[in-house]
Amino acid sequence: MRNLQKTLANYLDLRRSLGFKMLNESAALPGFVSFAEKRNTPYITTRLALDWAQLGREGQSKWRFSMVRGLAKYAAIFDDRTEIPQLGLLRNK
């Protein structure tokens, strides 16, 4: 699980170095990593991303899912077990 924490830290650092503020991601994605740890899942899966995204307030699930997709794209470079969730898995309510 430590690897996912480190991956998140590196992802945020990289994006910030490219000029992105990453304020929302910095606040929300540590919660995703904690969620993964509680589920004893050391890498990102589509099911994990969907489950976490749907825990948020109504109307935020697509936004949360999108943040995990960004992290997953980065994580997949270093861990081939990582699943990059497809777009369109969540619908507006």
18-76 pLDDT, tens digit each: 999 999 999 999 999 999 999 999 999 999 999 999 997 878 899 999 999 999 999 99
Do 36 and 78 form a contact (C-beta atoms < 8 A)? no
| Confidence (pLDDT) at 57 | 80
| Confidence (pLDDT) at 89 | 86
pLDDT at residue 79 tops 70: yes
- Spatial CA neighbour of 28 closest among 62, 64, 71: 64
| Confidence (pLDDT) at 88 | 84
| Confidence (pLDDT) at 92 | 58
- Spatial CA neighbour of 68 closest among 37, 2, 24: 24
